[in-house]
Chains A and B, each alone.
Chain A
């Protein structure tokens, strides 16, 4: 059977499964549509949160980022998991006790202000739309590589599948497809990792293999990797970083941003009890950790495999000839994600770090520049091919990458559509709307959101690469602080919360735009985006944490000099703190 047929079988099979679940889990009421009926088991919910959370960025890009940055990019590992500690202790149980359908609804009620709710809706929509573009684009890449269809065509297919289960089933359909998608993506991610760990270290558990001895050389794997890459002028993989402040703030931004992302918070509304919301957080992190503990092993092992493929006889000997390059290099060259240019016309592939420090060494070996560019996003997708694993593993990876992208896309689309139908239409425009009509409105907003996301995925705006920074910056600087203060402080009032959100958000956006360009339009940045220009060496990607602190400070400051919240609001805060009497989520 050809590789194409195998890929088609795996991807097609997984899609049929999702559609089957969609038909089985059709939503009959707004309660089904927004919170899956409110009866999801905490372990099931944990698994669904895992798929909801782990996006194309986690599945496809993260290992590549770690492979490129080594220790310095551990920030993604800690940042994208540590947020769950905040969620489970500071937000989820109380928001579950509050028992409404959406995140802006809590903000609107707690701060007794429809304007606060509107600001929250806007933050939610901007963060979620930017995030969903990346998912759709990721699905497009996976389609074009593995199913040999045009990226746009692939996107359309993905959109139709998401449409089936998200529009029909809402949160109910999404919950059970996410469980299936979690299983597909985790199997797809770990199987190649186990094989590769066995090949390189003899240890079948990748997180242990990472710290084991490299079988071929007899030295520890990480030491071997360091030796090879420093020989070629790259930074040591395990080297410490100079700018610790930026590393701390970046990690903190990712953690706070994770805890403030509405599509993740919403999933905690689906469990029956407050105690289940706490357990859900733990289970979610267990399922997420299966991938996150494997990713750093995949990263270092794939980088080592790549290096030993190009330099089979060691870094002192000549690299391989271009005509003898392995098959996977040929196949990825077609997609343009691997590029080769024979700069010194010797027919060999020189892969090294083209810096001034390494110039004399390169010249003495007759090298005229780095000749191989490998897009770091292909690392996970090409991993089975690099390690010569059988064809079915490649088919599995294709289905896994799509599962990761689609499950996150569906969660984001639900967050967007419920904000539109519940917070805008029911909350502002037509409060008397019947349940049936609201359900219809939710389905229509979901359909519109899918069309918009597909269009933007096919025609990504110039800022597609920056969207993650924007989504996390917004969630960290606007939503997380007001949610937390809404639970832990009775004193913060409507004026305080709105001014906190607006200044935190405004500050964060301005700092990002100054370096990345206003609205990300190239050439409109005021300062070059280099570490020398950053204030105190704080990167625009790390600024969300500072924005959050400003939000807290302004909200407390303004609240202190304005009127305290009315008694019924203080009673509301009191009631979300005690689990008793939670009942199922409702909109009354």
Chain B
């Protein structure tokens, strides 16, 4: 396979962009909403507690699932676009 062509560099950059974007959301829902930003979300009430508590015990996990499936789906598309997918 072509190790150093222009396309494979672009392919790797697309992958890195997708990873960085996903990890920003990953950090935001867990370290952000559930921990550091919890006091700021304290005004939003949900079932006897606040939104930060919900993110800590439910929301972050749900977001992680969406992130992985989104990544897998997008990467498979990117693989095809750059012709590096498996037969």
**Residue ranges of A at the interface with B (Cβ–Cβ < 8 Å):** 66, 71, 74, 77-78, 81-82, 84-85, 88-90, 93, 207, 210-212, 219-224, 226, 238, 240, 244, 247-248, 251-252, 273-275, 278-279, 281-282, 285-286, 289, 292-293, 296, 571, 574-575, 577-582
Contacts and interface: CB of A to CB of B under 8 A. Distances in A.
Contacts of B12: 577
Contact of B68 (A74, A281, A571): A281
Nearest to B85: A579
B72 interface: yes
Nearest to A208: B47
Given A285-B68, A581-B86, A78 B76 contact: no
Contacts of B65: 282, 285-286, 289
Interface residues of B, number: 46
A78 to B, nearest CB: 5
Given A221-B47, A275-B86, A289-B64, 14 more contacts: A71-B53, A77-B61, A88-B71, A89-B19, A89-B23, A210-B57, A244-B35, A278-B71, A278-B75, A278-B76, A285-B61, A293-B62, A574-B4, A580-B85
Contacts of B60: 77-78, 81-82
A89 B18 CA distance: 9
Nearest to A577: B12
Contact of B72 (A74, A88, A293): A88
A211 B54 contact: yes
B43 interface: no
Contacts of A220: 47-49
Interface of B: 1, 3-4, 8, 11-12, 15, 19, 22-23, 26, 30-31, 34-36, 38-39, 46-50, 52-54, 56-58, 60-62, 64-65, 67-69, 71-72, 75-76, 79, 83-86
A281 B39 CA distance: 32
A211 B39 CA distance: 19
Given A278-B71, A581-B1, A251 B30 contact: yes
A81 B85 contact: no
B61 A289 contact: yes
A273 B79 CA distance: 12
Contact of A211 (B23, B34, B46): B46
Nearest to B71: A89
Nearest to B66: A282
A211 B47 contact: yes
Contact of B35 (A248, A275, A578): A248
Nearest to B57: A296
Contacts of A210: 47, 57-58
A78 B3 contact: no
B63 to A, nearest CB: 9
Contacts of A226: 48
B38 A273 contact: no
B39 A81 contact: no
Contact of B48 (A78, A93, A219, A273): A219
A93 B1 CA distance: 18
Given A244-B36, A273-B86, A580-B86, A222 B49 contact: yes
A252 B52 CA distance: 18
Nearest to A97: B86
A66 B56 CA distance: 12
B15 to A, nearest CB: 8
B22 to A, nearest CB: 6
Nearest to B19: A89
A575 B69 CA distance: 24
B4 to A, nearest CB: 7
Interface centre among A66, A78, A273, A286 (most CB of B within 10 A): A78
A74 B56 contact: yes
B79 A275 contact: yes
A238 B49 contact: yes
B25 to A, nearest CB: 9
Given A90-B19, A251-B31, A579-B84, A240 B38 contact: yes
B58 A293 contact: yes
For A226, A238, A252, A581, the residue with the greatest tally of chain B CB atoms inside 10 Å of its CB is A238
B79 A579 contact: yes
Contacts of B68: 84-85, 88-89, 278, 281-282, 285
Contact of A575 (B1, B11, B54): B1
A78 B15 CA distance: 25
Contacts of A82: 26, 30, 60, 64
6 tightest A-B CB contacts, nearest first = A211-B47, A220-B48, A74-B56, A278-B72, A223-B48, A222-B48
A390 B34 CA distance: 37
Contacts of B30: 78, 82, 251
Nearest to A300: B57
Contacts of A219: 48
A293 B38 CA distance: 19
B53 A238 contact: yes
B69 to A, nearest CB: 4
Contacts of A279: 69, 72
A252 B58 CA distance: 17
A575 B3 contact: yes
B1 to A, nearest CB: 6
A549 to B, nearest CB: 15
A236 B71 CA distance: 38
Given A74-B57, A278-B76, A574-B3, A84 B64 contact: yes
26 contacts: A71-B56, A74-B34, A74-B53, A77-B57, A78-B30, A78-B56, A82-B26, A82-B60, A85-B68, A89-B23, A89-B68, A90-B19, A93-B75, A211-B48, A211-B49, A275-B85, A279-B72, A281-B68, A285-B65, A296-B57, A574-B4, A574-B8, A575-B3, A578-B11, A579-B85, A580-B79
Contacts of A289: 61-62, 64-65
A77 B71 CA distance: 22
Contacts of B61: 77-78, 81, 285, 289, 292-293
A138 B67 CA distance: 33
Given A275-B76, A289-B62, A248 B36 contact: yes
